[in-house]
A and B are shown apart, each in its own frame.
Chain A
Amino acid sequence: MKHRMRVAGLVAATALMAAACGSDSKSATSSTAAPVTTAAAGAATTVAGTDTTAAGSATTAGGAAPTSLAGHACDGSLKGKTVTITSSIRDTEAEKLVSSWKPFEDCTGVTIKHTGSATFEDDIKTSVQGGNPPDLAIVPQPGLLATLVKSGKVVARDDLKDSVTTNNGSSWVGYGTVDGKFYAPPVGANLKSLVWYNPALFASKGYTIPASFADLITLSDKIVADGGKPWCAGIESGNATGWPATDWLEEVVLSNDGPQVYDDWISNKVAFNDSKIAKDLDLVGSILKNEKYIYGGVQSIATTAFGDATIANGLIDGKCYMYQMANFFSNNFPAGTTLGPDGKVSTFPFPTINPANAGAIEGGGEFVAALRDAPEVLAVQDYTTSVDFANRRAALGGWFTSNKNIDVSAYADPFEKGLAEQLKAATVFRFDASDLMPSAVGSGAEWKQLTAWITGQSTKDTLDTIQAAWPS
Chain B
Amino acid sequence: MGDLIATFGTALAGIAIFLLVLLGIYFVTGFLPGRSKERSRVAVFLGPALLFLLIGLLIPAIRTIFISLYTNKGDALDVNKFVGLSNYRKIFGDKATRMVLLNNLWWVILGTGFSVGVGLAVARIADQMKAERVWKSLIFLPTAISMVGAGIIWRFVYNKSPDPSHEFGLLNAVLTKVGASPRIWLLQQQNYVAGAPHLNTVLLIVIFIWIQAGFCTTVLSAAVKGVPDSLKEAASIDGATDLQAFRKVTIPYIMPTIVAVSTTTIIAVLKVFDIIQSTTGGNFNTDVLANEMYDKTYPQNQPGYGAALAVIIFVVVVPVVIVNLRSQRRAREIA
Q: List residues of chain A with CB under 8 Å of any chain B CB.
A: 10, 13, 17-18, 121-122, 125, 128-129, 143, 146-148, 150-151, 236-242, 295-297, 299-300, 302-304, 310, 314, 319, 438-440, 443-444, 448, 451-452, 455, 471
Residues of B within 8 A of A297 (CB): 162
Residue B33 CB within 8 A of the other chain: no
Task: Please pick, from A150, A310, A314, A444, the residue contacting B77 in the complex, using a CB distance under 8 A.
Answer: A150
Residues of B within 8 A of A150 (CB): 74-77
Residues of B within 8 A of A451 (CB): 283-284
Nearest residue (CB) in A for B94 is: A468
Task: Please pick, from B75, B161, B281, B284, the residue contacting A238 in the complex, using a CB distance under 8 A.
Answer: B281
Task: Please pick, from B156, B187, B280, B283, the residue contacting A17 in the complex, using a CB distance under 8 A.
Answer: B156
Task: Please pick, from A129, A241, A310, A471, the residue contacting B281 in the complex, using a CB distance under 8 A.
Answer: A241
Residue B299 CB within 8 A of the other chain: yes
What's the least CB distance linking A249 to chain B, in Å? 17
Task: Please pick, from A239, A299, A440, the residue contacting B301 in the complex, using a CB distance under 8 A.
Answer: A440
| Chain B: number of interface residues, binned into ranges | 20 to 34
Q: Cβ of B295 and Cβ of A303 under 8 Å apart?
A: no
Known: A18-B168, A151-B78, A297-B162. A439 touches B299 (CB 8 A): yes
Nearest residue (CB) in A for B163 is: A319
CA distance A147 to B298 in the complex (A): 12
CA distance A300 to B300 in the complex (A): 26
Q: List residues of chain B with CB under 8 Å of any chain A CB.
A: 73-78, 152, 156, 159-163, 168, 184, 186-187, 189, 277-278, 280-284, 291, 294-296, 298-302
Task: Please pick, from B163, B281, B300, the residue contacting A439 in the complex, using a CB distance under 8 A.
Answer: B300
Q: Cβ of B300 and Cβ of A444 under 8 Å apart?
A: yes
Nearest residue (CB) in A for B287 is: A448
Q: Cβ of B75 and Cβ of A302 under 8 Å apart?
A: no
Nearest residue (CB) in A for B76 is: A150
What's the least CB distance linking A228 to chain B, in Å? 13
What's the least CB distance linking A238 to chain B, in Å? 5
Residues of B within 8 A of A438 (CB): 75, 301
Q: Cβ of A121 and Cβ of B299 under 8 Å apart?
A: yes
Q: Cβ of A300 and Cβ of B76 under 8 Å apart?
A: no
- 11 residue pairs A–B, Cβ–Cβ below 8 Å: A17-B156, A121-B299, A151-B76, A151-B78, A236-B281, A239-B294, A239-B299, A241-B281, A299-B184, A302-B184, A303-B160
What's the least CB distance linking A21 to chain B, in Å? 15
Q: Cβ of A239 and Cβ of B295 under 8 Å apart?
A: yes
CA distance A359 to B161 in the complex (A): 37
CA distance A327 to B210 in the complex (A): 41
Q: Cβ of A439 and Cβ of B282 under 8 Å apart?
A: no
Residues of A within 8 A of B184 (CB): 299-300, 302-303
Sort A-B residue pairs by CB-CB distance and give the 8 closest, nearest first: A296-B162, A444-B300, A439-B301, A122-B298, A151-B77, A150-B76, A239-B281, A241-B281
CA distance A17 to B170 in the complex (A): 12
Q: Cβ of B76 and Cβ of A10 under 8 Å apart?
A: no
Residues of A within 8 A of B294 (CB): 239
Q: Cβ of A455 and Cβ of B284 under 8 Å apart?
A: yes
Known: A150-B74, A455-B187. A239 touches B282 (CB 8 A): yes
Residues of B within 8 A of A143 (CB): 75
Q: Cβ of A300 and Cβ of B160 under 8 Å apart?
A: yes
Residues of B within 8 A of A303 (CB): 159-160, 184, 186-187
Nearest residue (CB) in B for A148 is: B77
Q: Cβ of A10 and Cβ of B160 under 8 Å apart?
A: no
CA distance A129 to B60 in the complex (A): 14
CA distance A439 to B278 in the complex (A): 22
CA distance A150 to B301 in the complex (A): 13
Nearest residue (CB) in A for B164 is: A296
Q: Cβ of B283 and Cβ of A302 under 8 Å apart?
A: yes
Known: A18-B168, A238-B281. A444 touches B299 (CB 8 A): yes
Q: Cβ of A304 and Cβ of B281 under 8 Å apart?
A: no
Q: Cβ of A239 and Cβ of B75 under 8 Å apart?
A: no
Residues of A within 8 A of B163 (CB): 296, 310, 319
Q: Cβ of B75 and Cβ of A146 under 8 Å apart?
A: yes
Between A147, A239, A304, A455, the greatest number of chain B beta carbons within 10 A of the residue's beta carbon is seen for: A239
Nearest residue (CB) in B for A146 is: B75
What's the least CB distance linking A286 to chain B, in Å? 21
What's the least CB distance linking B123 to chain A, in Å? 34
CA distance A150 to B156 in the complex (A): 42
CA distance A314 to B163 in the complex (A): 10
Residues of B within 8 A of A443 (CB): 299-301
Task: Please pick, from A129, A241, A310, A444, the residue contacting B161 in the complex, using a CB distance under 8 A.
Answer: A310
CA distance A132 to B283 in the complex (A): 33
Q: A121-B298, A146-B75, A300-B162 are in contact. List 19 more A-B contacts (CB 8 A).
A: A13-B152, A128-B77, A150-B76, A236-B281, A238-B277, A296-B162, A302-B184, A302-B187, A302-B283, A303-B160, A303-B184, A310-B162, A319-B163, A438-B75, A440-B302, A443-B299, A452-B283, A452-B284, A455-B187
CA distance A201 to B216 in the complex (A): 57
CA distance A129 to B303 in the complex (A): 12
Q: Cβ of B281 and Cβ of A147 under 8 Å apart?
A: no
Q: Cβ of A239 and Cβ of B186 under 8 Å apart?
A: no
Residues of A within 8 A of B298 (CB): 121-122, 125
Task: Please pick, from B76, B156, B284, B299, the residue contacting A240 in the complex, using a CB distance under 8 A.
Answer: B299
Residues of B within 8 A of A121 (CB): 298-299
Known: A302-B283, A303-B186, A440-B300. A10 touches B278 (CB 8 A): yes
Known: A122-B299, A125-B77, A129-B77. A241 touches B152 (CB 8 A): no
Q: Cβ of B283 and Cβ of A448 under 8 Å apart?
A: yes
CA distance A129 to B184 in the complex (A): 41
CA distance A284 to B252 in the complex (A): 62
Q: Cβ of A10 and Cβ of B152 under 8 Å apart?
A: yes
What's the least CB distance linking A296 to chain B, in Å? 3
Task: Please pick, from B73, B78, B152, B189, the residue contacting A129 in the complex, using a CB distance under 8 A.
Answer: B78
What's the least CB distance linking A5 to chain B, in Å? 14
Nearest residue (CB) in A for B300 is: A444
CA distance A125 to B186 in the complex (A): 31
What's the least CB distance linking B245 to chain A, in Å? 48
Q: Cβ of B162 and Cβ of A314 under 8 Å apart?
A: yes
CA distance A471 to B78 in the complex (A): 15
Between A10, A314, A452, the greatest number of chain B beta carbons within 10 A of the residue's beta carbon is seen for: A10
Nearest residue (CB) in A for B189 is: A455
Nearest residue (CB) in B for A308 is: B162
Nearest residue (CB) in B for A6 is: B299
Residues of A within 8 A of B283 (CB): 241-242, 302, 448, 451-452
Residues of A within 8 A of B160 (CB): 296, 300, 303
CA distance A87 to B296 in the complex (A): 22
Nearest residue (CB) in A for B294 is: A239
Residues of A within 8 A of B277 (CB): 238-239
Nearest residue (CB) in A for B299 is: A443
Between B156, B283, B284, the greatest number of chain A beta carbons within 10 A of the residue's beta carbon is seen for: B283
Q: Cβ of B76 and Cβ of A147 under 8 Å apart?
A: yes
Q: Cβ of B152 and Cβ of A125 under 8 Å apart?
A: no
CA distance A17 to B158 in the complex (A): 14
What's the least CB distance linking A112 to chain B, in Å? 15
Q: Cβ of B187 and Cβ of A147 under 8 Å apart?
A: no
